[in-house]
Amino acid sequence: MSENKKLEFETRGKILSSSLLIEELLNKIIYNYFILKSIDKITRSKFLDLFIFSKTFGRKKLIYIEILKMDRYKQKVEKSLISAPIELQTQTITNYISFKKAINDNLNELIETRNNIAHGFDLSKAFIALEENEVVFANKSRLTKINNKDVDNFIKITDETIKLLEITKGKIQD
């Protein structure tokens, strides 16, 4: 296997595996927000199959954004932020407005990068002036040039987003 292919696989693997952690947390939040605890296993399984697992990552983000608008979730987040503000790389999240902005910005960036890498194809051979460890992915009409530093940054944003998404520790039902 060529060095270009190895780099492409390694880059895709890190981006996709990192983004799967976020998608799994979104699955849990959506499930815990909407499903009642007393429902039988068959109903839970059908709910997961029909309303969560069948949705794309972008769709799950949209559902989560709708959950952010709900008072029940907002109150849980505000209560958590009062007792334990969230320290991010560039800021400390102490209120709901900054929480919503940070989570929305992070999810937008993660999904855009993830989709460009996941659905794009490697065009690196078409570029003469690439730096070491740099890959170019093409997805529709969008080109994404990514290197090890970009992958590390993606993982840092993923880690911050995990901190934000785990704020209620899965306790969403009253």
Q: At residue 39, does pLDDT exceed 60?
A: yes
Across the chain, what does the average pLDDT equal?
86
Phi-psi region of 32 (alpha: psi -120 to 50; beta: other; left: phi over 0): alpha
Closest CA to 111 of 61, 162, 36: 61
Per-residue pLDDT, 171? 59
Measured CA to CA, the distance from residue 106 to residue 16 in angstroms comes to: 15
- Of 54-63, 114-123, 150-159, 161-170, which one has max mean pLDDT? 150-159
User: Going by C-beta distance under 8 Å and a sequence separation of 6 or more, which residues neighbour residue 26?
Assistant: 57, 60, 61, 63, 64, 165
pLDDT in tens, 9-35: 899 899 999 999 999 999 888 887 777
pLDDT at position 172: 57
Tokens of 173: 């039902």
Q: What is the pTM of this model?
A: 0.83
Percent of the chain at pLDDT above 90? Answer: 47
Short-list 112, 113, 70, 77, CA closest to 98: 77
* Three-state SS annotation for 45-94: HHHHHHHHHCCCHHHHHHHHHHHHCCHHHHHHHHHHHHHCCEECCCCEEC
